[in-house]
Amino acid sequence: MSQVFGISNEHKPSLQGHIFPDPVDAEEYMVMLVYKNGSLTREDIRNRCANKSWEVFNTYLQQTPPLNGGKLGFYYKDHEIIPPLPVGFHRYVLENFKGDTLDGVKECEVAEFDAASEVRALVEGQFLSMRAHAERFGMPSPPKRIIATGGASANNSILSSIASIFGCNVYKIQSSDSASMGAALRAAHGWLCNKKGEFVPISCMYMDKLDKTSLNCELAVAAGDKELVSKYAVLMKKRVEIENRLVEKLGRM
């Protein structure tokens, strides 16, 4: 399972995600998107296409070009939440796709890709979906930055794809157990607000000492090339078109 948490100044509610008042900034909103097909689906493709090796998986990512030659994949090992689609793999080749426009582009559904293209189609597909749905909810594009957590944050090949697709710097925090750390921070913040008898910004807990805490972030991958980011936006538009048709045809309530 994978999650996207983001901060937005405006909210655009949808049935395929959640929007909450920001618990640490009363002027903003927190967007949460939840995907069932995250790390376990990547592991499944790794096992089937990359000899059960992350090293081979990463080599395939590095060997294949960004945009994957117009190859798009939708991989649902489990019933997905965003979008609401049943189990199934769907692969498409976009003929005449160069990245600048969708004019003259023809899509063709295919049964399979070669192993390297399958790996890139999976990774690009997951993060193109995240970008598309995050933007639907009002999150800025490009984001100010992305902080990657969890197991995938240790994989720089995956982080490079994220930086290229979203068009922003990608950071990592020192602690890999970010969920537990976040829960502890919220508890400490709640205790502090109660002690003060009023809401206080969470930043006062670490102001001027951030570099001495596990909240300190380090740059993992710099933002992708702007021209490539624009081409991913075009590819994302086509992916959304296909996704909407799949939901109309196969979607579940």
CATH, residue 110: 3.30.420.40
Mean pLDDT of 107-131: 97
Taking the complete model, does pTM exceed 0.85, yes or no? yes
Q: pLDDT, tens digit, for every residue of 8-21?
A: 887 777 777 888 88
Mean pLDDT of 70-75: 98
> Mean of the per-residue pLDDT values for the chain?
91
Closest of 134, 145, 138 to residue 217, by C-alpha = 145
**Residue 57 belongs to some domain of the structure:** yes
Give the CA count within 13 Å in the CB-facing half-sphere of 243: 24
**Residue 204 belongs to some domain of the structure:** no
Q: Residue 55 contacts by C-beta under 8 Å, 6 or more apart in sequence?
A: none
CB count in 10 Å sphere of residue 74: 22
**Residue 31 belongs to some domain of the structure:** yes
pLDDT of residue 152: 84
Q: Which residues pair with 146 in a beta bridge?
A: 170
Sign of torsion, CA 61 78 176 52? negative
**Residue 58 belongs to some domain of the structure:** yes
**Residue 170 belongs to some domain of the structure:** no
**Residue 208 belongs to some domain of the structure:** no
Domain that holds residue 113: 2-139+228-250
pLDDT of residue 235: 98
**Residue 81 belongs to some domain of the structure:** yes
pLDDT interval class at 203 (50, 70, 90): confident
pLDDT of residue 139: 87
Mean pLDDT of 114-128: 98
Q: Is the pLDDT of residue 200 over 70?
A: yes
Number of domains the chain contains: 1
% of the chain surpassing 70 pLDDT: 96
pLDDT interval class at 153 (50, 70, 90): confident
**Residue 207 belongs to some domain of the structure:** no
